[in-house]
Amino acid sequence: MAALTEDVILAALANVTDPSQGKDIVALGMVTGLQIKDSNIIFALEVPAHRGPAMEPVRRAAEKAALAIDGVTSATVMVTAHAGSHGGSGAGSAGESANLADQGPVIEKVLESKVRRFVAVASGKGGVGKSTTAVNLAIALRLEGLRVGLLDADVYGPSQPRMLGVSGRPASAGGDMVKPLESYGVQLMSMGLLVPDDTAMIWRGPMVQSALTQMLDSVAWGVLDVIIIDLPPGTGDIQISLAQQVSLAGAVIVSTPQDIALLDVVKALTMFEKAKVPVLGMVQNMSHWSCPDCGRKDHIFGDGGAAREAEKRGIELLGEIPLSMAVRVGSDSGTPIVVAEPQSEQAKTYRSIAKRLMEVADLCYEENE
């Protein structure tokens, strides 16, 4: 078996022709972001925005050609389409400022036909327990009877497959659609299901936005009452893109009481305000630690910082989650605390937050939808 190299892959892809231009996709400079990890390959086809919807046959042909290469076991092919792109690599071109409106109707179609509400779980800073909050809220909403999906939008650091204890690639749902994986009654789609755990995603903005669009538009979510979107930390183009395209019912902001975390929370609040996305409330995570022996409470990350920030801005504090090793263990093992220890203080708080979220975001089960 020949070594799997970039030259070998490009030689195979050179047999794929773009019918509208009569040349192969390699010669046209469409192939970008090529990554090789063991027997898995990932790349994108970069095209002008107006050609994005028509590129699916070429994308499928490129995927087929890649899978036919000796030694390749999986191939992930995305189409990245944005204004100002003319097929070249465009790594530093002005076209990288994606025209988000071009992708909007695709996502809106999913919203209108299948999903009643989208709710984002966000934080301005990483490491505050945002993903843990998102997965426990998703399961808690499912326990309340809602049909729930979870979109892991943290393309660079997807963690939801591990937290929900699932693995493997999504199965085909017919045509260009794939089925989300399911765990604890929650439908999941994540980039972590498409690439190996140790593969670093080094994509730039337009490729990431294309991946997120396809995770919504090309996934057979079914009829859902809500999709919880686990946003990556920060206030970059991924967050703004989703906020503008998906008609969010609102956002839940997660923070610890620590002043450093709250500095970035303010930025997240400002971003959602500018995007005209209502903030449904804040969750203060790691609020305190209770000694299991004597019951003493230690405020390791500060005392009430998120609560004060919520009060200052007129935002509801949805709940305070105590620091607990059981939460960490459950997340690492694929059994979130709401399932692992349903009678724990943390699980009860997540359930309480979910019930309040159903009220403020108008989430309900509709039998006839």
pLDDT tens digit sequence for 237-246: 677 777 767 8
Q: What is the pTM of this model?
A: 0.69
CATH code for the domain defined by 6-97: 3.30.300.130
Average pLDDT, the chain: 79
Confidence at residue 95, expressed as pLDDT on a 0 to 100 scale: 32
* Cβ proximity of 252 and 135 under 8 Å: no
Confidence at residue 67, expressed as pLDDT on a 0 to 100 scale: 92
| pLDDT of residue 86 exceeding 80 | no
Quick: pLDDT tens for 129-158.
Answer: 899 999 999 999 998 889 999 999 887 778
Comma-separated ranges of CATH 3.30.300.130 domains in the chain: 6-97
Please list, residue by residue across 298-333, b when 16 or more beta carbons sit within 10 angstroms of its beta carbon and e when fewer do.
Answer: eeebbebbbbebbeeeebebbbbbbbbeebeebbee
Report the pLDDT averaged over residues 232-241.
74
Quick: pLDDT tens for 187-215.
Answer: 999 887 876 666 665 666 667 777 777 77
Confidence at residue 14, expressed as pLDDT on a 0 to 100 scale: 95
Q: What are phi and psi of 263, to 5 degrees?
A: -60, -40
Report the pLDDT averaged over residues 316-325.
90
The rounded distance, in Å, linking the Cα atoms of 100 and 83 is 9
295 or 93, greater pLDDT: 295
Q: pLDDT grade, residue 366 (50/70/90)?
A: low
Residue 300 structure tokens: 């390791």
Top-level class of domain 105-360: alpha beta
Confidence at residue 3, expressed as pLDDT on a 0 to 100 scale: 79
Residue 225, SS3 per DSSP = strand
Comma-separated ranges of CATH 3.40.50.300 domains in the chain: 105-360
Confidence at residue 113, expressed as pLDDT on a 0 to 100 scale: 42
